Amino acid sequence: MKIWTIEEEASALRARFEGVNRAAFARDHEVKGGQAMIYQHITGRRPLNLEAATVYAKGFGCSLAEISPRLAGEAQKAAALTSDATPAASPTVAPWPFSSIDRERIEALPAERLKHLEGVMLFALQGYSDGATTITVPERPASSFAAPTRGSVVDIDVAADEFPMRIKGLPPAPWEGGNTTHQAEANPKIRISTQTGVVANVGPGEPYAANDKFEKVPEMADVRLAAGDGIENHLEEQTGVMHFRRSFLRAVGADAGKARVVYAKGDSMEPIIRDGAALLVVPNEDLTVRDLAAGGVYAINYDGKMIVKTVTRDRLTKQWVARSFNPAYPDIPLENGTPVRVLGQVVWSGARLRDDEAGQWVKS
């Protein structure tokens, strides 16, 4: 008998499944792993084992050797070894010691009653071992909660809680001595150290609403807005997501999937926007340069290059210019005939703090 390779086994099995509904076959013949396992077998990703090959042989009405000569040979060797072995002696079953009690009655008891009966028997055996001739079985302790009958009144303080809703690690509930929601909102935890001598310009954090979920914002890691010289972006594809609270996105007009996360390149907008900072941009190409006079930071396409700047009117020339926060960079004229298109507003910036920056100031 020629032994097939794994690929040959898979090919032969795949031919048998042509025109056969794999999902129905897996269901009718109880194939372990279901339709997905059949797919792995017919593609050779997982070699056949004896159990699976036996199921396939039974399902297709063929011999095991027609499914896998390899496994058929192994099965024959196992059968030969089994026939040569000495049959094991069947265990001796001890007779039932209680003539007045049917074994079926004991085995029909629920687990709780069996446990109680076991305890009673252990108690009696211990008494016999100690030389007692009469055993007084103690009464079963009454349950703290009896199953109520229809129309009865139940004390909720002692009622059994079969499905407790408390989760370990959470603060105690109000009825356990903890704060109510109103008390927790009125006394939020202070997030910054209150150590004597430490000064910080922050206050207690406001609690978020219980239904304030996070929303995914597409991240375009390959897109750079120049905080310096202009940058041409050749790729504008989504590379990941960042999570923001829905309430924050709604507050800045960036909810409902309107926002995008890109990154700054350069130091022209420092100290407000750092080199490499993540920028949350709300696209709005209906804006004109004059719409930006109220202030803010904007993403601008300047002659095909992407920049991030504020927009203001120059005091001397009275012309609109793109201005940097860093005074070392000159203004960029926006009314000199160069194609200018406002892409959207930057509403948030996040960057890693440098190691040489202090996080707290201590009184001397």
Express as a percent the part of the chain with pLDDT over 90.
1
- The residue segments making up the domain with residue 225 are 214-350
Q: State both tokens at 297.
A: 């930071």
Give the Cα separation of 102 and 111 in Å (integer). Answer: 17
Q: What is the pLDDT of residues 50-91, one digit of tens each?
A: 888 899 999 999 988 889 888 888 888 887 776 655 555 555
25 domain residue, yes or no = yes
Phi, psi angles (nearest 5°) of residue 106: -70, -45
**Helix, strand, or coil (residue 143):** coil
pLDDT of residue 94 exceeding 80: no
- Last residue in a domain, options 29, 61, 82: 82
Give the Cα separation of 307 and 268 in Å (integer). Answer: 10
73 domain residue, yes or no = yes
51 domain residue, yes or no = yes
188 domain residue, yes or no = no
163 domain residue, yes or no = no
Q: What is the pLDDT of residues 181-197, one digit of tens each?
A: 777 777 766 555 555 55
| Amino acid sitting at position 121 | M
Task: Report CA Rg, the chain.
Answer: 39
Q: Containing H/E element for 305?
A: strand 305-313
The total number of structural domains that make up the chain: 2
286 domain residue, yes or no = yes
- Residue 216: C-alpha distances to residues 254, 256, 260, 346 (Å): 11, 10, 10, 17
Average pLDDT, the chain: 76
pLDDT of residue 364 exceeding 50: no
209 domain residue, yes or no = no
The residues that bridge with 215 in the sheet, in sequence order, are 244
**Helix, strand, or coil (residue 160):** coil
- Last residue in a domain, options 82, 115, 142: 82
Q: State both tokens at 154.
A: 């139940």
- Last residue in a domain, options 82, 104, 138: 82
Q: What is the CATH number of the domain that holds 47?
A: 1.10.260.40
Q: What is the pLDDT of residues 314-354, one digit of tens each?
A: 888 888 888 888 888 888 888 888 888 888 888 888 887 76
Give the Cα separation of 256 and 244 in Å (integer). Answer: 12
Q: What is the CATH number of the domain that holds 331?
A: 2.10.109.10
